[in-house]
Structure 1
């Protein structure tokens, strides 16, 4: 580097003084060969940096930048700076699963399509980030695929006596043909089903199961009959009756036309219908019975789940005295409910979103705090009776797995509590008993501040009597094999659509992101407190989840797409780096192809330079293409000193120099700087109150710009600069 000396330029003064009143001043110039030109004056650092060319000028490897897509689309100055300095752009969030996939699994390509249209116009490539990661997922959708099947209990008491079916006998029930109670064949694990063995029946009633005759039917009431049924081969069933005006009714099982039987398959299917035409003879209502007929087909086994078999009087009068008014929100109002706290909100749901009716109460808590930091309150006109057990019942679901509790409170805020109530994305009935400990309990309260979630609540009952809970809700968990099949299909659907849709526009991808733990082991997804948008593919697909991902990327993308595995902290944990390289080798041993390894490099001034060197040496030895994928150098402040800025520049240059010197040229894919500038709107979610980038908050070049440029060029670019002023 040329060093400039600052030499004062003197114009020689020769003074000849002949008298005080006659002063003659002559100026004599220094000979030209002894003059100091302006080119020899030192250039200030800012002036030097201003004379640098755009960053991508100084390298033949891919120089990229991580961007905020909305800023690129909507801020012309931001877009121009990206286009001027970089070869490709990596969208920080907007191309991830969580940003693009809705709760029904549908992908919204529109915003990214608009972005790519602008990059195509500018000649800027787009790097795909990222296809398979555990974070920034639409976890609500993915978890809904593997959620247990919830079969709500009946809305009223079951008139059928199922006790002899549940204990495995058929006492009180009549049968014709081979009908038994089979253990472990019901909907829920370990539950029973009535099994019908159709060998070669001639008539539908040759294989029949008949309920005991019931004499408690009320004339004029409507009754609902429901059950779940399946068969090991495709078949048909039929329901007939005793005690109706029409004991062989035609039911529209298929949705069009008249049919008196229903189809069955290997999947459980609910059959539900109502009857009301009960027969009277001599002024007496005739006993009522239900007959299940499966004499269709040959060599078919049919199963009717015992726990879901029910007969419910839909017009039965309840004797429950509900102490809560507006408990089902069918007036589309929350009055007289009120609430407050934690920035929470409360509303009535859209029509049709209630549990058993049109509306439900909707409570939303934005952030996690104490349970009582967000409350919804119902005040009683008089205090509840102390020492008397009060039963609380309601139906509830939430948009994510969450929890809340209920309490009976006094004006001085003392209370009796229910304890934590866990909620899921499926409607569940909650029943709790609380006994007021004093005579001044005047409020019923939902405490919902413990989870960042939206709760839907319906059919609230508070009573000192019995709750007519109906039959028990059945929860059916999916098997590990079923979960793997569903999640595998979701991965293929997501990847195939992304790779196919952007086949002409994106030619390099982060296929698998951050697969390793810090110690070098593969993540397993068993975490105690996952974020709301965390979903671990590995938990359901196992160690080969990345094998599948890379095979899908090659299958649906272009043959020459460059496919990366990417992780962070590889410079600070060499054990993690070793684990990542080992896992990459395993992926390829299973028949998939990994083109490159990305090292993120979110570093600081204190990051070990020796570790950086060792990291690049190990990466070079892998034989893979190597990409520095998310480089930034944080300073711990948004207002750095000049020394910190110079040290930041030196660290940037050290990383770029090390990459160029250690990684063989044939393996150098490129370097991506993470975020364009230090502007706050680029750091809302990543390194807020920091200054980690090469452009400042006004898009001005920082000393780090020079460090990166010199590193890319392999020399001090400014050594060629003169001090001559340039326009």
Structure 2
């Protein structure tokens, strides 16, 4: 039932009656023409705002909002505002690569799935945000894919004398059947500086011994276990074996490491380097001296390469030797290969020669300009494999600083969870630090120095991380054999990152086919210089990864093709960027890039403009941007609209200008973008509450609701823009309400 409520022009809730009879109320007679009706009573702005309906009731287009997943799931007031006012949501963070992709490259859908289920219950749709961006990425996982392969030195001294290979004389080695040639080639090994034995089988080669090189006679302890290992590849598919002299069985079938565990006479080779390992047990030995033959003559016309430095026969029962898991811990190459870091405007460098420990060689130099918390500045080394759960490791390093300082060591996984070893006091003279490290999880793949607590410069040298039992045999903790570091080629990096992009996009598109019908496929491809980003950033943040750096200009072409391939045929696919209203050249560059993408065979359905603007943003630029975007014929979407007041103590004038700017944006969008191209408007964030602004526009008030979740003046003006009129002009002093 509808009832009328009267809002009186004057406060007349009751008649005032005096306490004495003489006092009487006298009524004034007025001209009826001067009297006002209830409908004519003027309304205050607060009353007008309160009487507006939900925002989406005024919109003829899709109305969205960017939200925080946690707040929506846990804050009822926040969730109710979203449910009542909008048609669809964009998840601000949790639907991106960084929070969803695990350290192993899998996708964890759980939290987003739970949220989508709740949104569907409330009748809201979801806009996919975002597939390919350079921020909010699991950069640790992606960088790990393309990181150098680090082959630890053998777990002991090699019994085989390879000096005749290292100097190219073959002293002690016998080319017993050279086939079409056996030579030493510089730079043809695993690394650009290592030597390789080059062996070529003849055109008639058909038996293993038709191409053979024999090691020098090598002494062994018959009661010990040994491991023979080396790295090999071939230009064509090949086949090889190791035969012996001095064993009970000189032609053993073995569990070849290279063939995945099958017991065979031989191993197979390809154009990819692979390690071959052969275990020899005490019962295998007949003599105390043995020789080993590399037999590669099975197939004709095959060229093989064996990496010289990795040829080793190690006594597994001999005295343990320290295997340093930090491949570049003494910096004697004069570089920081394998190391990287970030935070607090810190810097990292290699010292001048002679500034290492003991005034010899090089050291790592870390500078933190301002004191903060310890992990605000970090230096990271990614290990070749995860540390073993509950295995004790010994870590030692030499360190000094330019002032008394604090330092912390941690081991961490790709998701930034770790074990911490803090409280390290550093002085101004060299001191050796030793820590026992015991991983609490089996996923610790990063060794980290946290050096943000003290404003100073650290010098660090001779870093060794080794299993405790091997470290105990060497009090000085010097690695016995250098690790081999193999950089991946540009082609390999392109292949690996391309596969990672496909896995990510395929997983998202297929999983959310039934729930998400529009996506930001590529986000922020253009730099503020109006040029396509190239990914060459000197100190990227810990969650930054630039796909373009490895996939080139066509990275967006690939992304759109993959999204189209694995999604729904009718999905609307967007490219999105910011500051298009501020930088018209950037807007034009984005449009040109869309043209390029489509020339390469991909289809872009729409262009998104974020529109993080303020009360003083140039309005003519806004109009020009909409005109340019509309001229493309594409769907145009305002993706992340908010209006900053640019102060943490806004006045009524600030709020008035903010409200007018919100309405101006809506008015111009509707006026300059044809209705058929208006995909919709998404406002970014619900309110000015500090919970929403820990990491985004702090010390401002950019949203439609205030910090107490009350509607602001901007709410009214935004609604007026959506409605195309001043909705409150129809309000009167007579209200209707339901009973």
TM-score (norm: length of structure 1): 0.78
1:72 is aligned to 2:72: yes
Instruction: Note if 1:117 corresponds to 2:117.
Output: yes
User: Could you tell which deviates more after superposition, 493-502 or 132-141?
Assistant: 493-502
Q: State the number of aligned residues.
A: 630
Using the alignment, how far apart are the partners of 1:562 and 1:397 within structure 2? 39
Residues 108 and 370 (structure 1), Cα distance of their counterparts in 2 relative to 1, 3 Å cut: farther
How much does 1:724 deviate?
Answer: 1.6
1:27 and 1:602 map into 2 onto residues whose CA distance is 58
Q: Who is 2:465 aligned against?
A: 457
Q: CA separation of 1:593/1:541 partners in 2, compared to 1, >3 Å: closer, same or farther?
A: same
Please say if 1:533 is aligned against 2:543. Answer: yes
Contact kept, 8 Å, 1:599 with 1:628, in 2: the verdict is yes
Q: How does 1:382-401 map to 2 (within 5 A)?
A: none
Quote the Cα distance in structure 1 between the aligned partners of 2:493 and 2:40: 73
CA RMSD of aligned residues (A): 3.8
Structure 1 unmatched runs, 5+ = 1-5, 11-20, 323-340, 346-351, 364-368, 378-395, 420-424, 430-445
Q: Mapping of 1:7-46 within 5 angstroms?
A: 27=27, 29-30=29-30, 32-46=32-46
Tell me, in whole angstroms, the C-alpha distance in 1 between the residues paired with 2:373 and 2:75: 34
Cα contact 1:344–1:374 (8 A) shared by 2: no
**Aligned partners of 2:88 and 2:125 also within 8 Å:** yes
Q: Aligned residue for 1:517?
A: 527
CA distance in 2, matches of 1:356, 1:124: 44
What's the offset of the Cα at 1:397? Answer: 9.3
Conserved 8 A contact 1:152-1:428: no
Q: Unaligned 5+ residue runs, structure 2?
A: 1-7, 13-20, 325-371, 377-384, 397-401, 434-442, 455-462
2:235 touches 2:270 (CA, 8 Å); kept in 1? Answer: yes
User: Which has the larger displacement, 565-574 or 605-614?
Assistant: 605-614
Whole-angstrom CA distance in 1 between matches of 2:275 and 2:125? 52
Q: 2:430 matched to which residue of 1?
A: 416
- CA displacement, residues 594-620 of structure 1 (integer Å, 9 cap, x when unaligned): 121111111111222222222222222
Q: 1:185 to 1:718 in 2, by over 3 A?
A: same
Distance across 1 between alignment mates of 2:63 and 2:224: 76
Provide the secondary structure at the position in 2 that maps to 1:288.
strand
8 A Cα contact 1:66 1:89, kept in partner: yes
Offset at 1:548?
A: 1.3
8 Å contact from structure 1 (residues 239, 291) kept in 2: yes
2: CA distance between counterparts of 1:255 and 1:566?
Answer: 46
1:606 corresponds to which residue? 616
1:232 partnered with 2:240: no
Contact 2:321 2:479 in 1 (8 A): no
Given candidates 268, 271, 283, the residue that maps to 1:266 is: 271
> In 2, are the aligned partners of 1:39 and 1:724 still within 8 Å (CA)?
yes
Counterpart in 1 of 2:290? 288
Structure 2 residue matching 1:374: 3-state secondary structure: strand
Which position in structure 2 is the counterpart of 1:208?
212
TM-score, with length taken from structure 2: 0.77
Partner in structure 2 of residue 177 of structure 1: 178
Structure with the greater alpha carbon radius of gyration: 1
Question: What do residues 395-414 of structure 1 show as CA deviations (whole Å, max 9, x unaligned)?
Answer: x998599xxxx9xx9x9933
State whether residues 564 and 596 of structure 1, in contact with CA within 8 Å, keep that contact through their aligned partners in structure 2.
yes
Label 1:418 to 1:716 Cα distance change in 2 as closer, same or farther (>3 A).
farther
Q: Which residue of 1 aligns with 2:49?
A: 49
Q: Which residue of 1 aligns with 2:107?
A: 107
Secondary structure of the residue that 1:237 maps to in structure 2?
strand
Partners of 1:501 and 1:354 in 2: how far apart? 33
Q: Tell me if the contact between 1:342 and 1:374 (Cα under 8 Å) persists in the aligned partners.
A: no
Distance in 2, Cα, partners of 1:523 & 1:353: 33
Contact preservation (8 Å) 1:355, 1:427? no
Contact 1:620 1:663 in 2 (8 A): yes
Secondary structure of the corresponding residue to residue 373 of structure 1: strand
Counterparts of 2:445 and 2:302 in 1: how far apart (Å)? 34
> For the Cα contact (< 8 Å) 2:140–2:414, is it kept in 1?
yes
